């Protein structure tokens, strides 16, 4: 414990994490400025989530939060992170995810079309920018090389990350809050392993989420939409591949997903049961 808090240890931690703190602050500031602009654009061009149906909010709410977050993330990365093909890939592919899924926010895609877009984005990341999961590590330091499975496993990972974050985006502040926390965990892990690019990328992701959260806490003044959820999922998926914390990311996201899945499954089962019994779905059950 004494060694951990020694001057040398604290100096090393500061040196490795300081670049990430700068990208975090810049992404936060840029997102904070970009969100009000995104609100105006949403209202002007009709990117609005209307109340009713599967939506629980009471008022029409702008939907271009993903654009604001991506701008904050992209500016911080381009200003501070050392240029490389993979760093460029994070910005470009996550930006494509944001832009293409913004179409879904305005004119919902068919499920198979949406899945095709998700897979296509993952393939671009893997084939064009060389972002691949090359091995898995086991306890004891053993590594398992994936060989020809690198590409399909990487595509599956990136598609899964997009859908996981999209699933989380059902409660004000939840998805952006969870991703911000996971990004900070990634930043700390990368700092210990002396991975400066991953530290800075993770800081930028946490910062853009924090800037967006100022406007997304209940009652939300803006939503991230599918565009924001897929941007965050793709960016987090790629950053976790560049780092070494894929398992940690999966477990960190699993807890809130399971917490949401259980009541959703219970509600779905109750609806099916009542339809089979011929009773009203809205009828209050026994307490």
Tokens 């998805």 found at? 175
> Cβ contacts of residue 210 below 8 Å, gap of 6+?
24, 28, 31, 176, 180
| Mean pLDDT confidence for 141-168 | 85
Task: For helices 174-192 and 196-216, give the axis angle rounded to 10 degrees.
Answer: 160
Q: What pLDDT is stored for residue 193 in this prediction?
A: 77
Helix (H, G, I), strand (E, B) or coil at 160: helix
**Could you read off the pLDDT of 6-61 as tens digits, one per residue?**
555 555 556 778 888 999 999 999 999 999 999 999 999 999 988 755 555 567 89
Tokens coding 72: 């904050």
**Could you read off the pLDDT of 257-267 as tens digits, one per residue?**
444 444 444 44
**Could you read off the pLDDT of 234-279 as tens digits, one per residue?**
999 999 888 765 555 555 555 444 444 444 444 444 445 555 655 5
Cα angle at 155 between 246 and 129, to 5 degrees?
Answer: 90
Domain boundaries, the chain: 19-258
- Global pTM reads 0.82
In whole angstroms, what is the distance from residue 201 CA to residue 232 CA?
Answer: 12
- What percent of the chain clears pLDDT 70, i.e. is strictly above it? 75
At 142, give phi and psi (nearest 5°).
-80, 140
Contact of 65 with 101, CB cutoff 8 Å: no
> Cβ contacts of residue 124 below 8 Å, gap of 6+?
93, 96
| Mean pLDDT confidence for 150-166 | 91
Q: What pLDDT is stored for residue 17 in this prediction?
A: 84
């Amino acid at each position: 414990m004494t060694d951990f808090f020694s001057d040398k240890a604290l100096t090393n931690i500061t040196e490795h994490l300081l670049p990430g703190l700068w990208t975090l602050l810049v992404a936060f500031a840029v997102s904070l400025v970009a969100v009000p602009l995104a609100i105006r654009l949403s209202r002007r061009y009709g990117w609005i989530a209307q109340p009713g149906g599967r939506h629980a909010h009471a008022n029409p709410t702008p939907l271009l939060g993903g654009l604001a977050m991506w701008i904050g993330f992209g500016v911080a990365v381009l200003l501070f992170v050392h240029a490389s093909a993979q760093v460029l890939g994070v910005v470009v592919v996550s930006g494509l995810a944001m832009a293409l899924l913004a179409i879904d926010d305005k004119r919902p895609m068919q499920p198979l079309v949406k899945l095709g877009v998700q897979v296509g984005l993952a393939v671009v990341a893997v084939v064009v920018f060389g972002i691949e999961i090359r091995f898995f590590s086991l306890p004891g330091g053993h590594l398992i090389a994936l060989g020809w499975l690198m590409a399909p496993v990487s595509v599956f990972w990136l598609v899964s990350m997009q859908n996981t974050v999209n699933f989380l985006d059902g409660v004000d502040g939840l998805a952006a809050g969870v991703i911000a926390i996971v990004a900070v965990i990634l930043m700390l892990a990368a700092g210990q392993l002396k991975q400066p690019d991953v530290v800075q990328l993770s800081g930028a992701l946490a910062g853009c989420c924090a800037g967006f959260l100022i406007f997304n806490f209940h009652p939300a003044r803006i939503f991230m939409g599918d565009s924001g959820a897929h941007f965050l999922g793709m960016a987090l998926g790629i950053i976790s591949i560049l780092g070494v914390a894929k398992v940690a990311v999966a477990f960190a996201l699993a807890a809130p997903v399971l917490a949401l899945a259980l009541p959703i499954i219970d509600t779905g089962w109750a609806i099916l049961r009542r339809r089979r019994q011929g009773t009203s779905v809205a009828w209050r059950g026994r307490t």
